[in-house]
Amino acid sequence: MRFGVHVGIGKGFVKTIEEARTKGCECIQIFAGNPRAFKRTKFDPAAWGEFRKLREKFDIGPTVIHTSYLVNLVTPNEELQRLSIALVAHDLELASRAGIEYVNTHLGSYGEGDRDAGFARVCKTLKSIMKRAATGPMLLIENAAGAGNACGGRIDEIGTILKKVGSSRIGVCLDTAHAWASGYEIATPKGVAAFLAEVGKHIGFSRVRALHTNDTRVELGAKRDLHWHVGEGKLGPTGFRSVLQSNELAHVAAICETPDSAMDARNVAALKRFAGRGTPATKARKSPAKSEHSRTASGKKRT
């Protein structure tokens, strides 16, 4: 298992790698453009080539591109779906050209539409995207927290999507905060074992390529997407030890998306400690609560 955080690329890739190394990252996640816009960033061969060389030089990998938060592949709104497909296809193309292993995406929300029709639509859409995708990167489906009639909040639902699409290039990113918010009790060894049994049954561990290792302060099953620092929320040290020391997930990239980038190094150190690696992190200090989801939603601009 390798550990890292979401890092910015807005100041250039040299700074990106410096940030990653300073924070103790072995793997990283980035946005390839503005995460809150449909604008697609033009590919710069020289810059992305430099990024690839730097990652290889400092053994930072795998790398995950997180798609825009606006992506909704389930929606019955034809224009929104068209824009969403274009964004995912763009990130897969960029990842292929830049030697990046994974593109991670949320599936979106059914909204007020018929769930059966939306489910059929997202399966058809994913099959079409992967049929046309450039060779190389794997597309990872991230489990949802369940808010707003979201698609992919249940492990069995994700498993059925994988079977319907039938592409070996689609995998899964499991977000611990989202799993808890969806009702999976992963704060105890027994709860983690039950959760992993569901993953093994419906998805298969070879499909799980990344973890978003986020704690949360919402109640179990609250269906709210609110991230918190590793081991300091409802999952706590016991939950993270149980997840990170599981043999089934030993091959994955574990990436934090916790609020306040100043806490990144401490969160990475906590992950390593709970996984049974590294030296103990410094004593936890209190930090103010932030807004929802990733640091882009916490008031810290990330590009």
pLDDT at 252: 98
Pick the closest to residue 67 from 99, 93, 49, 98 (CA basis): 93
Report the C-alpha gap between 265 and 241 in whole angstroms.
Answer: 18
Q: State the pTM of this model.
A: 0.90
| 198-204 contacts, C-beta under 8 A, 24 or more apart | 198/155, 198/156, 199/155, 199/174, 199/248, 200/248, 201/159, 202/155, 202/156, 202/158, 202/159, 202/160, 203/155, 203/158, 203/159, 203/162, 203/172
* Amino acid 208: pLDDT: 98
For residue 171, count other CB atoms closer than 10 A to its CB: 21
Q: Tokens in use for 280?
A: 């103990």
The C-alpha atoms of residue 86 and residue 93 are separated, in whole angstroms, by: 10
pLDDT of 277 reads 87
Q: What's the gap between Cα 41 and its chain centre?
A: 21
At 39 the pLDDT is: 86
Long-range CB pairs of 110-115 (<8 Å, 24+ gap) are 110/74, 110/149, 110/150, 110/151, 111/74, 111/75, 111/76, 111/148, 111/149, 112/149, 113/74, 113/75, 113/76, 115/149
- Write down the pLDDT at residue 278: 58
Q: Which CATH architecture has domain 2-297?
A: Alpha-Beta Barrel (3.20)
Q: 175 is written with which tokens?
A: 């977000």
pLDDT value for 295: 41
CB 36 within 8 Å of CB 78: no
Residues with Cβ within 8 Å of residue 286, at least 6 apart in sequence: none
Q: How far apart are CA 23 and CA 215, in angstroms?
A: 18
The secondary element (H helix, E strand) that includes residue 35 is none
What is the structure's pLDDT at 301?
39
CA distances (Å), 164 to each of 20, 74, 159, in order?
37, 15, 9
- For each of the chain's 303 residues, which pLDDT tens digit applies? 999 999 999 999 999 999 999 999 999 999 999 998 988 888 999 999 999 999 999 999 999 999 999 999 999 999 999 999 999 999 999 999 999 999 999 999 998 889 999 999 999 999 999 999 999 999 999 999 988 789 999 999 999 999 999 999 999 999 999 999 999 999 999 999 999 999 999 999 999 999 999 999 999 999 999 999 999 999 999 999 999 999 999 999 999 999 999 999 999 999 999 999 855 433 333 333 333 333 433 333 344
According to DSSP, residue 233 is labeled S
d(CA 194, CA 160): 19
What one-letter code names the amino acid at 19? E
4 burial (CB, 10 Å; 0-12 / 13-18 / 19+) is buried
Strands 27-31 and 63-66: parallel
Write down how long the chain is: 303
